[in-house]
Amino acid sequence: MNRRGFLQLIGATGAAALTSSCNRINSGVGTPSSPTHLIRFPEKTEMILLTDRPPQLETPLHYFRQDLTPNEAFFVRWHLEGIPASVDLRTFRLNVSGQVRNPLQLSVDDLRSQFEPVSIIAVNQCSGNSRSFFEPRIPGGQWKNGAVGNAKWTGVPVKSILDRAQVSSGAVDVSFAGLDAPPLPSVAAFAKALSIDHARDGEVMIAYAMNDRPLPMVNGFPLRLVVPGWYGTYWVKALSNITVLPQVFSNFWTDKAYRIPNAPNGTESPKHLATDTIPINRFNVRSIIVRPEPNETWHPGRPNEIQGVAFDSGHGITRVEVSTDGGATWKDARLDAEIGKYSWRRWRANWTPERRGEYRLMARAANAIGETQSTEQWNRSGFMWNVIERVDVKVE
Amino acid sequence: MGLAAFIGGCGQRSRTSGEATHDIALVDSAPIRSPEPRIPVHTIALPHDEPLLPPGPGREEFVAACVVCHSPRYITMQPRFTRSAWLGEVNKMKDVYGAHISDQQVPQIVDYLMSIHGMPDPAGTSTAASYGE
């Protein structure tokens, strides 16, 4: 027997997700829809339950038929069990310290009233979104395509905060840590860092509002870091500490976790693991088919709209092509108007299937600097999935 | 082989649904509004929905070592893995995250994981342990 995983969900006889030839690293076929377990967390709507403690909640695909992902449906992912469940805004402070001449302790009210607010519409995607599609299978959050969302983030650029704190010369990195606490002293507290130039590029920001409302607690209330165009691991939730450092930041979550092969699209093979790795960083190009959903049934002779989203790290999606015949022929989809450089771009393609049968729909996107999607992909952590998507639809 | 039954704890707020829904009504339903905090203290109660684990050798060691940090769903949401893959994961928990697992308990815990969520090792293969989450 070769290395194939069987997806088995709670309380169900699992729907086996068998892919094609065992010689190929993966086929990119979405797993057939299996019974999902939905759960409603506080301030959230019903979401797909991956784990409850610490929570990993996936967004049902139909929410991506909107420009902005509602707060109550936005995906949730924490690493450490001690997630904040109560915040007192009277005593909460964002601490800014380290290589600064003017250390700060700012309340949320200070941030709202003392700094010029900015808003940015930006996609947040988990590094491991779509991990369940990799073959051979990889341990970790077994997401389908729902660990992603597009929201309007409002708050203060980190640059403004650092300017007020007066960064000393010799600053190299800026680390960001939140209120969440590890379950054991041996588990590293979650913190990530950006280079000083990246942190103060004017786009990296601290959000106190999401889609014009306070963040849900499980999405990082009262503040989270927003790093447009970079994977979600950097978007530290319940942000409470900013530290300017005179050297490159070092911790478990940077040195051991969240690393990718230093190779095109972070790719390696299971038998030849890369020895040179770097921290995960900016998004690759992706498109996700939102409609039809896996195993949906459509009717012959009726016009339908294939729908989806596409995004990259901020250069701009320029093209999405759709196939309804398993990749034999391709047609350009219509792109919605651009909302912003870090927002996703919705796309649509009309299709009237003539005959009954099973059809394999595919979608592939390209961006302004010529980046496209992969046909084959693997890395040991299950990160950065961007294989050309396939969804099978029955027409009857 | 039924994997788990759900604990009907206080405030159980989950259910199992059928196929992924594409019901348009859900898209149009009124959004749940969370009000601007008028009181300065914002508090939520986190729900519990941990699966009940079936009996088997190694279950006690598993519960003692693992559930202190995370729900068993971290195991049950995975695909079935081979013994070598589960061994890699348990060693990662022990060596990297400092889980309180003695050398003697490692194979006991792996035995339990194999009994609830394992598949046979194909000959001559292993899965590299990763730190990716």
Domain holding B106, by residue range, is 50-120
Residue B127, domain member (yes or no):
no
* Residue B98 located in a structural domain: yes
Distance from A168 to chain B by nearest Cα, in Å? 34
Q: What is the pLDDT along chain A (396 residues), one digit of tens a residue?
A: 444 443 333 333 333 333 333 333 333 333 333 457 999 999 999 999 999 999 999 999 999 999 999 999 999 999 999 999 999 999 999 999 999 999 999 999 999 999 999 999 999 999 999 999 999 999 999 999 999 999 999 999 999 999 999 999 999 999 999 999 999 999 999 999 999 999 999 999 999 999 999 999 999 999 999 999 999 999 999 999 999 999 999 999 999 999 999 999 999 999 999 999 999 999 999 999 999 999 899 999 999 999 999 999 999 999 999 999 999 999 999 999 999 999 999 999 999 999 999 999 999 999 999 999 999 999 999 999 999 999 999 999
Q: Would you tell me which residues 15-34 of chain B have a C-beta closer than 8 angstroms to some C-beta of chain A? A: 15-23, 26-27, 31-34
| Contact between chains at A273 and B4 (C-beta distance less than 8 A) | no
Is residue B4 one of the residues assigned to a domain? Answer: no
Structure tokens at A162: 């650092």
- Contact assessment for residue A171 and residue A217, using Cβ atoms and an 8 Å cutoff: no
**On the CB side of A195, how many CA atoms lie within 13 Å of its CA?**
5
User: Is residue B89, in this structure, part of any structural domain at all?
Assistant: yes
Contact across the interface for B80 and A8, Cβ inside 8 Å: yes
Cβ–Cβ gap B20/A295 under 8 Å? yes
- Bridge partners of A69, per DSSP, are none
Closest residue to B20, CB basis, from A33, A83, A127? A33
Among residues 85-114 of chain B, which lie with CB inside 8 Å of chain A? 85, 89, 96-100
CATH number for the domain harbouring residue B105: 1.10.760.10
Q: Look at strands A259-261 and A334-335 and give their pairing.
A: unpaired
From residue A13, give the alpha-carbon distance in Å to each of A6, A18, A53, A121, B118. Answer: 10, 15, 23, 41, 15
Is residue B95 one of the residues assigned to a domain?
yes
**Residue B92 counted as domain residue:** yes
Residue from A1, A41, A37, A35 nearest A18 by CA = A1
Count residue pairs from A and B with Cβ separation < 8 A: 230
With tokens 């022990």, the residue in question is B94
Asked if B49 and A52 come within 8 Å (Cβ–Cβ), the reply is yes
Residue A376: CA count within 13 A, CB half-sphere: 10
Among candidates B14, B34, B131 on the partner chain, residue whose Cβ is nearest the Cβ of A49: B14
CATH of segment(s) A286-395: 2.60.40.650
Tokens standing for residue A78 = 């924490």
Please count the structural domains in chain B: 1
Distance CA A266, CA A278 (A): 9
Q: Quick one: tokens of B108? A: 């006991």
Tell if the CB–CB gap between B22 and A1 is shorter than 8 Å. no
Nearest CA in chain A to B120: A1
ipTM of the complex: 0.85
In a domain, B2, yes or no: no
A-interface mutation test, from B13, B17, B46, most A Cβ less than 10 A away = B46
**What residues of A are in contact with residue B21 (Cβ under 8 Å)?**
60, 62
Number of neighbouring beta carbons within 10 Å of residue A4: 17
B69 CB neighbours in chain A (<8 A) are 81, 183-184, 187
Domain presence at residue B126: no
